[in-house]
């Protein structure tokens, strides 16, 4: 096994170097683990280049173990450095996560009780498993591929394709990530996401969406708050696809994670009702499901803002939003018996086609990385083929 220790010195509150020197390296030495290569990243994509070179050189090992001190963005860069067409015989990559980023969605989902991460012991859960202080378990990472295509493209180019291990979103979440990046210097913590959320709160996104089933399930599933269970989506067509029309406020899908921050449990059913195959859990809010809103317009958009915050606030209450429903007045609560406010869909893939007139509906977030769909184009996201879901692992 080739052991690589790598950290991003500017991730999160820039504490990675001291965490490695004071805790990570001493713990590895105490357990006789010899690090072959130690890297402090110097720039964006540096970690990705190091791992890609190792894989390409066919390092004399069938496994590369990467002790990764960063946020989710650096993990995303590493996964995307793989040459999709040339992986035969390439070593598998196992991550030991040291959460040094801002949000650390993957780490916080895998170790939900490891909060706050300001407590050193909470940083070391994955490393403790690797060195054998806790029962080691290596969990495969499910990957989703997102392809942005122009409508006339029959074969989208590789440059427009990316792999994700955490979140793929459009609508409000993509706008928040897009706008919060400019606030990073001023607000290094998660408060920058809240500021960007306020800025985008009255925006509705004009698009249509399509969903396809995961192979084993055979149907697109939707969560029913009455049954407290998933059921086949009632609007599936003869090809088992489900089509939803906009406007949308929220559209976010996850793999491997049930939260994006320690307490923001946006796709809670991925951990409380796990699927038996790799799937995308998709969280959708469409404001015209609200019985008190008959049509679009500035008043309707303003009226929906407090409901949106209530729903997203439910994610901070251990995922209570998935059981929130309307009453006949359009009020939102878990005790009501009208339509579910959140459409919680479980599927194998989705397609998002923004209206040409709506520029912000064309933003797509893949693990925090923002891209824009070309005018007239669409984004297609699907669970990767099984060989890709056995390529990356994480110690838990
Ligand atoms: N030395 C460096 N200087 C500037 N940027 C760097 C350096 N090393 C890595 N980066 C870049 O920093 C960006 C953010 O890193 P990362 O995702 O690890 O942390 P984060 O954004 O704080 O955390 P999270 O993704 O959990 O919110 C990545 O795009 C990475 O490429």
pLDDT tens profile 171-184: 999 999 999 888 88
Residues of each domain in the chain carrying CATH 2.60.200.40: 144-384
The per-residue pLDDT for range 69-114, each reduced to its tens digit, is 999 999 999 999 887 666 677 788 999 999 999 889 999 999 998 7
Residues of each domain in the chain carrying CATH 3.40.50.10330: 2-136
Q: Ligand 1 center to residue 44 CA distance, Å?
A: 7
Q: Find out if CATH 1.20.1250.20 is the number for domain 144-384.
A: no
Buried b (16+ CB within 10 A) or exposed e, 289-313: bbeebeeeeeebbebbeebbebbbe
Q: Ligand 1 center to residue 80 CA distance, Å?
A: 15
Q: In angstroms, rounded to a whole number, what is the distance separating the alpha carbons of residues 324 and 341? A: 6
Q: Whose CA is nearest to atom 7 of ligand 1?
A: 43
State percent of the chain over pLDDT 70.
94
CB-ligand 1 contact for 74 (6 Å cutoff): yes
Return the residue matching tokens 């069938």. 62
Among 19, 39, 74, the mutation site with the greatest number of ligand 1 atoms within 8 A of its Cβ is 74
Q: In angstroms, rounded to a whole number, what is the distance separating the alpha carbons of residues 277 and 140? A: 12
- CATH number (3.30.420.40, 2.60.40.10, 3.40.50.10330, 3.40.640.10) of 2-136 reads 3.40.50.10330
The per-residue pLDDT for range 337-365, each reduced to its tens digit, is 999 999 999 999 999 999 999 999 999 99
Q: Whose CA is nearest to atom 4 of ligand 1?
A: 43
Is the ipTM beyond the 0.85 threshold?
yes
Q: Whose CA is nearest to atom 9 of ligand 1?
A: 44
Q: Ligand 1 center to residue 47 CA distance, Å?
A: 10
- The pLDDT confidence band at residue 386, using thresholds 50, 70 and 90, is confident
CB-ligand 1 contact for 80 (6 Å cutoff): no
Burial class (CB in 10 A: 0-12, 13-18, 19+), 390: exposed
């Amino acid at each position: 096994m080739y052991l690589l220790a790598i950290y991003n010195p500017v991730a999160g509150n820039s504490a990675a170097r001291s965490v490695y020197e004071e805790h990570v390296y001493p713990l590895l030495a105490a357990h006789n683990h010899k690090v072959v290569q130690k890297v402090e990243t110097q720039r964006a994509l540096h970690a990705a280049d190091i791992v890609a070179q190792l894989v390409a050189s066919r390092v004399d090992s069938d496994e590369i173990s990467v002790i990764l001190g960063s946020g989710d963005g650096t993990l995303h860069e590493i996964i995307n450095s793989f040459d999709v067409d040339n992986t035969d015989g390439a070593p598998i990559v196992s991550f030991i996560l040291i959460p040094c980023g801002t949000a650390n969605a993957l780490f916080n989902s895998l170790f939900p009780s490891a909060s706050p991460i300001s407590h050193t012991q909470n940083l070391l859960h994955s490393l403790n498993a690797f060195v054998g202080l806790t029962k080691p378990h290596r969990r495969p990472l499910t990957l989703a591929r997102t392809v942005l295509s122009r409508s006339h493209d029959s074969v989208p180019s590789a440059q427009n394709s990316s792999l994700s291990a955490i979140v793929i979103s459009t609508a409000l979440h993509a706008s928040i990530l897009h706008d919060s990046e400019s606030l990073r210097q001023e607000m290094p913590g998660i408060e920058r996401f809240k500021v960007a959320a306020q800025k985008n709160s009255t925006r509705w996104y004009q698009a249509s969406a399509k969903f396809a089933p995961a192979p084993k399930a055979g149907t697109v599933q939707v969560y029913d708050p009455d049954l407290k269970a998933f059921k086949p989506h009632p609007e599936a067509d003869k090809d088992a696809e489900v089509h939803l029309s906009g406007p949308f406020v929220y559209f976010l899908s996850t793999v491997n994670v049930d939260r994006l921050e320690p307490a923001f449990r946006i796709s809670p059913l991925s951990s409380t009702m796990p699927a038996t195959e790799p799937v995308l859990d998709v969280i959708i809010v469409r404001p015209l499901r609200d019985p008190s809103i008959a049509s679009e317009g500035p008043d309707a958009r303003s009226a929906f803002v407090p409901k949106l915050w209530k729903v997203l606030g439910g994610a901070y209450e251990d995922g209570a939003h998935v059981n929130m429903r309307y009453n006949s007045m359009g009020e939102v609560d878990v005790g009501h018996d009208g339509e579910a406010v959140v459409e919680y869909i479980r599927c194998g893939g989705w397609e998002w086609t923004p209206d040409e007139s709506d520029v912000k509906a064309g933003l797509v977030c893949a693990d925090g990385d923002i891209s824009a769909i070309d005018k007239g184009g669409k984004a297609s996201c699907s669970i990767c083929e099984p060989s890709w879901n056995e390529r990356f692992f994480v110690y838990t």
